[in-house]
């Protein structure tokens, strides 16, 4: 049996290790900007979230040495980098960065990632579904929103995004035999 989700691209371990000493303070301004830009471009996302916009979501890219706390408040949305997710979150979503970004990008189906165990979820499942569905509907072009202000400096990141998109679709299947029905 193949390990689950082996086709979801993983951040290579050396890169993850190199990122470890990165001061999280450096990540704060671009992430804050990203949150505000998404809010400005996708007001419908917050309408779809409804009451769940008040919840706190922990996003844990398992192949990175840090995680994020997402608070999708319509008035003041924020994405905060943390070394470790706090305990008092409403929802925790863990999986390879490629899986998390691929869901935003429309490359991956969240349920399929869950079925293949590439994605682990905990907490308030209503809030999780609302976020997943709202993000899926919004068709957020992360690449453009995040990278356009960076100019040519964004090229390596851009290539990483494209690799995720190119991997679109094939989450590793454990077994694909057809079962008889009795």
Residues contributing to the site for other proteins (CB under 8 A): 1, 3-4, 48-50, 52, 103, 106-112, 114-117, 120-122, 124-134, 136-139, 168-182
Minimum distance of other proteins from residue 128's CB (angstroms): 7
Nearer to other proteins, 159 or 175 (CB): 175
Nearer to other proteins, 89 or 107 (CB): 107
Task: Mark residue 9 as left, alpha or beta (left: phi above 0; alpha: psi -120 to 50; beta: remaining).
Answer: beta
DSSP-derived 3-state class of residue 109:
coil
Minimum distance of other proteins from residue 156's CB (angstroms): 25
Nearer to other proteins, 81 or 90 (CB): 90
DSSP assignment, residue 175? -
DSSP assignment, residue 40? H
Minimum distance of other proteins from residue 47's CB (angstroms): 8
d(CA 66, CA 62): 8
Nearer to other proteins, 17 or 125 (CB): 125
Minimum distance of other proteins from residue 67's CB (angstroms): 17
Minimum distance of other proteins from residue 178's CB (angstroms): 5
DSSP-derived 3-state class of residue 60:
strand
- What is the C-alpha R_g of the chain? 17
- On whether the CB atoms of residues 106 and 161 are closer than 8 A, the answer is no
Give per-residue burial for 20-34: e unless 16+ CB within 10 Å, then b.
eeeeeeebeeebeeb
Nearer to other proteins, 81 or 130 (CB): 130
């Amino acid at each position: 049996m193949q390990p689950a989700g082996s086709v979801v691209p993983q951040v290579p371990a050396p890169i993850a290790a190199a990122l470890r000493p990165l001061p999280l303070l450096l990540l704060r301004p671009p992430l804050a900007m990203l949150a505000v830009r998404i809010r400005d471009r996708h007001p419908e996302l917050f309408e779809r979230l409804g009451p769940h916009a008040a919840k706190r979501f922990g996003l844990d890219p398992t192949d990175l040495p840090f995680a994020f706390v997402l608070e999708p408040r319509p008035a003041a949305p924020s994405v905060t980098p943390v070394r470790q997710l706090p305990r008092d979150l409403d929802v925790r979503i863990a999986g390879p960065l490629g899986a998390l970004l691929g869901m935003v990008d429309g490359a991956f189906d969240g349920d399929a990632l869950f079925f293949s165990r590439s994605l682990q979820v905990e907490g308030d499942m209503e809030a999780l579904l609302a976020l997943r569905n709202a993000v899926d509907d919004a068709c957020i072009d992360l690449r453009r929103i995040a990278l356009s202000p960076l100019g040519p400096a964004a090229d390596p990141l851009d290539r990483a995004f494209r690799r995720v998109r190119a991997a679109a679709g094939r989450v590793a299947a454990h077994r694909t035999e057809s079962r008889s029905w009795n």
